[in-house]
Chain A
Amino acid sequence: MRAPVRIKTLTIDGKEVSAKEGETIWQVARENGIDIPTLCYLEGLSPVGACRLCLVEVKGANRLLPACVTQVEEGMEVTTNSERLVNYRRMILELLFSERNHTCSVCVVNGHCELQRLAQRLGVTHVRFPYRYPDLPVDASHERFAIDHNRCILCTRCVRVCDEIEGAHVWDVMGRGIKSQIIADLNQPWGTSDVCTSCGKCVHVCPTGAIFEKGKAVAEMEKRRQFLPYLTIMRGGKQ
């Protein structure tokens, strides 16, 4: 016998909602038609709370909480949209843009990019921080795909999809802080990995132009990730 599902009641943006125990604020918000912006979170993959874009205000909490990993509690009062939150979200995006080289106009995903779309949605018109212009390589050693570290925002979706769904675990994160970088296997050219099955899942979950199909011209790469919920259901996985 399964344990009975407990129901929690709370308010999100002043609206009374009920939720199942164990659900996250993000999930409940979405069930109620409230869209909290995310970048690292992707339904079907385990949440990691890395990008902090989904930060929300919870009354009584002394800090902002990431909605994608915070479970609902009885009586919570959540605010998903305020001037303060929008400011933080903008700042996070600006930092992401300044950290690496995002040249949207010559990017393979120009017009189909989650980072770009979010920036538009949140009204990021300029970046207040100095650009770092790091000198980062493109690894095009794989026969069909390439990874351009200049466009990577370290969301780790590729790491998780490869590990959790495909089961190959090609990707990992190397280094700490600003020096972090996505690596294949033991920090070797992607094309030399003997565990990569060339399934292309990382290509399609990557929110930016960091992982793409070779030969795609500028603005031609569109990500298709309809496979994700389907695969997780097939494997009986929980969200």
Chain B
Amino acid sequence: MAQQIVIEPVTRIEGHAKITIKLDEEGNVADAWFHVTQLRGFEKLCEGRPFSEMPSLMARICGICPVSHSIASAKACDQLLAVRIPEPAVKLRRLINLAQILQSHALSFFHLSAPDLLLGFDSDPQKRNLFGLIEANPQMAKDGIKLRKIGQSVIEILAGKRIHPSWIVPGGVSEPLNVEKRDAILAMLPEAKEITLRTLQWFKFSLEKFRDEIRAFANFPSLFMGLVTSEGKWECYHGRIRVVDGGGHIVADQLDPTEYQDYIGEATEPWTYLKFPYYKPKGYPNGMYRVGPLARLNIIDGFGTDMADQEWAEFRELERGAVLSSFYYHYARLIEILHTVEKMEELLNDPDILSKHVRASAGLNNLEGIGVAEAPRGILFHHYKVNEEGLMEWANLIIATGHNNLAMSKGILQASKHFVKGKQLSEGMLNRVEAVIRAFDPCLSCSTHAVGHMPLHIQLIGPDGTLLDELRRD
């Protein structure tokens, strides 16, 4: 009789998530899944509401990357209005999305992952947090706090101090940027660059130590998906979709994101509400793909900014084809931070960024809209249908955690096979499984373990449903 181990992170966000590890009769790991259920709520919640609320409402999906949700949502609304928003508004939206990526990556790297990286995966969980980091390497802890603060300040300068900014609106943004604000942002960027370069140096130097993790952390071929510009460069706001395979070959390029349903299927499984997106031409589940920092670095032909391009070239030297180990998500994140800083500088030095033309106004002209953008954790789809009165009738969202679901499950399986021995649950196994999830940085994990370790609940359940073993870490 097969047995199941269930790992349940106790989350502070809507819905919950858990990990199920299935054992076969011999007690060996047979299969593993990662499931989240928090998104259904939002798709229901918006029904009957005016679409003009969506950019703000959708921002609440995620406490860590509200801006990216706002942007995908506003782009879907632009389509409902059937407007092409003024170019300065595009630049401003891009600017704030870059700041969001910077802020979120800094949180992920320094606050959540650096303790693992610096103190070791098997170190005392009580110490493996930001405070432990402050003790062990005060400079790095300070850098992390500062970098995240810079990202946060840019967002606040642009969108106001509210927790849920309402600056991004259908048709553009609600207010132009002025000289003082621009200069205030520009003044912060050199330090951000310094910190990032310093950290990159350290990370590259430390890579040697993580050979085991690199090998075992969701290290397998998969497809990679994300947005690129028409020249194949890194893109977080507009752009078209490129798909690359594990060998680094382009499988599809310049796909129209608004036609996602043609090439992205969404499989369902009876045991979870979460959908499993897959690349249709390869079928399910072979069409598994990864999104986010690692994927973006695997699909692009370059960043288009000097320093990031140099780092990227070095990164791609790691493997002959695509870089496959999910451990490298951390590395990719640092390089992306560097690019966001360079790109923000570039945008802010463009005089057009101060233009007063930041909004197109129109009534409802389309009953369906699709907005796509890159969020810190990967490509994001917002697809809305409204009635003639502009009230929401239906929404479909595909978020990064969803895209990565298949790969994350496979990664957990790989790590479990490696680290789960017998029917006993061990702290070490918990740590590795947790670290694999953390490498992907699903929204869920970052909301739940902002301070220190991820709250987890593992249950080992016998064939007749009785509890064989239990391990809890809150």
Contact = CB atoms under 8 A, between A and B. Distances in A.
A62 interface: no
Nearest to A209: B53
A138 interface: yes
Contact of A137 (B48, B162, B174): B48
A140 B390 CA distance: 7
B164 interface: yes
Contacts, number: 58
B5 interface: no
A215 B53 contact: no
Max chain B Cβ within 10 angstroms of own Cβ: one of A106, A148, A191, A214: A106
Contacts of B164: 105-106
Nearest to B170: A217
Interface stretch (B54-62, B190-198, B395-403): B54-62
B188 interface: no
B50 A146 contact: yes
B169 A214 contact: no
A227 to B, nearest CB: 23
Interface string A88-120: 000000000000000001101010000000000
A128 B34 CA distance: 38
A106 to B, nearest CB: 5
B162 to A, nearest CB: 8
Interface-central residue, B53, B164, B363, by most chain A CB under 10 Å = B53
Nearest to B390: A140
Contacts of B389: 140-141, 146, 191
B391 A138 contact: yes
A105 B56 contact: yes
Interface string B55-97: 1110010000000000000000000000000000000000000
Contacts of B49: 138
A138 B393 CA distance: 12
Contacts of A216: 52
Nearest to A217: B169
A215 to B, nearest CB: 6
Nearest to A135: B48
A34 B349 CA distance: 52
- What class of interface size applies to chain A in its complex with B? 10 to 19
A110 B53 CA distance: 12
Interface in A68-90: none
A220 interface: yes
Interface in A122-148: 137-138, 140-141, 146, 148
A106 B60 contact: yes
Contact of B53 (A137, A141, A191, A217): A217
Nearest to A144: B363
B50 A214 contact: yes
Nearest to A140: B389
A108 B53 contact: yes
B86 to A, nearest CB: 16
B361 interface: yes
A218 B60 CA distance: 13
A191 B388 CA distance: 12
A217 B361 CA distance: 11
Interface string B137-173: 0000000000000000000000000111010011000
B169 A220 contact: yes
16 contacts: A110-B166, A138-B48, A146-B50, A191-B389, A214-B50, A214-B52, A214-B363, A215-B52, A215-B361, A217-B56, A217-B166, A217-B174, A218-B52, A220-B166, A220-B169, A220-B174
Interface of A: 105-106, 108, 110, 137-138, 140-141, 146, 148, 191, 214-220
